[in-house]
Structures are given as C-alpha cells and as structure tokens.
Amino acid sequence: LPLIRSVFTFFKQNRVLDDYIVGARAKHSLPDLPYDYNALEPVICSEIMQLHHQKHHATYVNNLNVCEEKIHSALSKGNVKDAIALQPALKFNGGGHINHSIFWTNLAKDGGEPSAELMTAIKNDFGSLEKMQELLSAATIAVQGSGWGWLGYCPNGKRLKIATCANQDPLEPTTGLIPLFGIDVWEHAYYLQYKNVRPDYVKAIWKIVNWKNVSERFAKAKQ
C-alpha cells in the first residue's frame, strides 16, 4: 500500500497537520488561520476565506478522519482489498488537508521579500524573481479543471522547480518535490470574487505571498 504509507509519512515528517490523539490514533483537526478572515482583502475577500476554510478545508479534514478509520479497520481485519479501495479517498482528502494547511501559511498581508538564500536560488534556477512568477503563473493558469500550481524544491537535483498537480494531489508524494509555495486554482478559492477570470486571481495573489514562510520552508527543505 505505497500511497497509504507515503501520505502517512508526509503527515508525520512535515507537521503541517494539527492532530490530536484519540485512543491509539491521531485525529486531524482544522488548523486555525494565522490571521483574520478579512486580513487578505482586497486580494481575497473575507467571504471567500471563511467559506474556503470553514467549509471546504473542514470537509477534507472530516472526510480524512473517516477514511483513516476505515483503513485502520480494514487493515486490523487483514482486509487489504478494502484498504486499497480507500486509497483514492485518502489521496483526495489527505491531499486537500495537506495543501490547504500549507496554503494558509503561504499568504500574508505584508509578506515581505524572499530571503537572500531563496532569492539566490530563484535567480540561479529561473533567472529572476519576475521570471519565476511568470512561469509559475502561466503553469497554474493552464491547469485544466481544478488543481494547484507549486514552487517546489527538488532534493535530488538541489534546485527549485515549478509543477502542477490535479485535484488535491499532494505535491511531495506525487512528484518528489518539497512544497514551498502553492496556488489553489479550485474555483472555490476565487470564483465569488474573480468569477471565471482565473488569470486575474493568479496575478493578484502575488501581492499577498508570505515570503517569510516560503523562505523558511526553503531553508528547511535544504537540510
């Protein structure tokens, strides 16, 4: 069950999830936002943030807990077939929890600038910050249907890379890249405000990047 192992390992290693213990198992809980729902206005309105966090992210958390309970029950009975059948639900809901837990911390009203170390890496791998933003924006806008655009770190090549993932597929278990900054292009992330003009949303989100958080993720990824 490689997917089950890889997602569980990602949960443990990255500590992006706010878990509490019930009996012998960890339960996932919805993390608090590090700011108020209106903190990212006018780029992302309060209504979107509240719905996105309290409804969409909360649903991923609840469904993930249900899925893990079913997997635990199946494996405890030696029912590998049922555990395998639950892998798509684990990937979708676990990915949704991972992705959003990163996304919230990636954003801030006054996010500053990339650290000197991160800026050097961006220039080495893309030529300039502006070029990286252009490439990531283009890749993200081009995602068909729902998904994510990512700036990630490749530990094998020791360089930054741009990638996209469909639906809620988590970046690291899917591509091997360590996530640094993600752009959510599910319609629930922007439609109430930007309607069907995804490019305007992607362009605007660069105004609220929490570069301190992205820089910290980069420093940790290199360790």
Count of CB atoms within 10 A of residue 104's CB? 20
The identity of residue 186, as a single letter, is W
Q: Binding site annotation covers 100?
A: yes
User: Distance from first CA to last CA of the chain, Å, rounded?
Assistant: 28
Q: Binding site annotation covers 57?
A: no
**Closest Cα partner for 96 from 209, 205, 188, 204?**
188
Q: Binding site annotation covers 97?
A: no
**Closest Cα partner for 6 from 180, 170, 165, 163?**
170
Residues 84 and 79: their CA atoms lie apart, in Å, by: 9
Q: Binding site annotation covers 52?
A: yes
- What's phi and psi for 33, nearest 5 deg? -75, 150
Per the annotation, where are the binding residues? 52, 100, 184, 188
Per the annotation, where are the binding residues for Mn(2+)? 52, 100, 184, 188
